[in-house]
Amino acid sequence: MAATAAISCHLSSKSSPDSVSLSSASSLSRSGHAIRRFPSVFISSPAIRRISCQTVSSAPSSSVNGKAKAGPKDFLHIDDFDKDTILSILDRAKEVKAQIKSGDGTYLPFKGKTMAMIFAKPSMRTRVSFETGFHLLGGHAIYLGPDDIKMGKREETRDIARVLSCYNDIIMARVFAHQDILDLAKYASIPVINGLTDYNHPCQIMADALTIIEHTGQLEGKKVVYVGDGNNIVHSWLLLASVVPFHFVCASPKGYEPDVRTIKRALKAGVSKIEITNDPKEAVRGADVVYSDVWASMGQKEEAEYRRQVFLGFQVNEELMELAGPKAYFMHCLPAERGVEVTNGVIEAPNSIVFPQAENRMHAQNAIMLHVLGL
């Protein structure tokens, strides 16, 4: 980005009067990877428990990763689009969902079109929701599993992007390295949708936003509290908060907070109130939504036992939901480890909207595909 913004962050401790301040007037570049800690951020006090920040100024970017937005309309990061576009996609999702629910099978905008689905990471929800949704609207989806392509190993990503562009109308990819999705989008001549990377998960958060709107009336002004690892889900929530105004809080153990550059990127937009804290009980008070995810994601399973110790106190249980209040909904992107990051009682409670949330993956993604295809 060529634009700069002055950002001031005040970090304070409830257990100590000492505080640390940091400021930056440098450009904030798009993050290519989910990196936990950065040498440019100096936080040495072990007593720090909460970060609250304010944006002094901000300016929009006119391009994404060197590609003008007027080019192929990829869906890689939520903040590649403005508020009106995001809300329009969500409105379209509601319309198409109603059409499908009505049983009217005459709406077939994807008829005669094919989608290549690249899965470096296996998934139930991502595959079934994309494949079923594309089929219900008349299209044909082709599954390419980890052994079908071996992207970057058997064949270079730039070559795969060009070849698949010859045969298909759209590419969806669920990969590990974020750079892989950026390279696919760079070299493909057809739209590319980010089905998940280690850095972000924009389709999931679009489904989440749709679910919140359906159950509360709107996303704007709501308090969404995420409790757990500052992972790709959190990064996507932060990027949505760069576009749509709401109150987003992330409560994570020390050392497991979200990517600092992504926090700054969201703050630079100056759209939403954003808080990063190490206190889940304080975080959830007054929440409209309490959100959780597994503590050890795919590729981190060897850390699972260690993380269970680190994340003690960050389980979303009945006590935590009681602190949130009787109107708070519970959400989880699934799969869930019941009894670990969330109790069985919470996930099965009347205010749990986990399964409508899962269904909305299909409807949100249908609307995203309609948008990038210009239909």
Catalytic residues: 333
Strand 192-196 to 170-174 pairing: parallel
Alpha-carbon Rg of the chain, whole angstroms?
20
Structural element, H or E, at residue 240: helix 232-241
What whole-number distance in Å separates Cα of residue 374 and Cα of residue 70?
12
Question: Which among 294, 289, 236, 296 has a CA at the least distance from the CA of 266?
Answer: 236
Question: Which among 203, 204, 153 has a CA at the least distance from the CA of 180?
Answer: 153
What whole-number distance in Å separates Cα of residue 183 and Cα of residue 65?
10
What 8-state DSSP symbol labels residue 4? B
Residues 6+ apart with CB under 8 A from 122: 145, 146
Q: Which own/partner pairs from 21-26 qualify as long-range (CB within 8 Å, at least 24 positions apart)?
A: 24/264
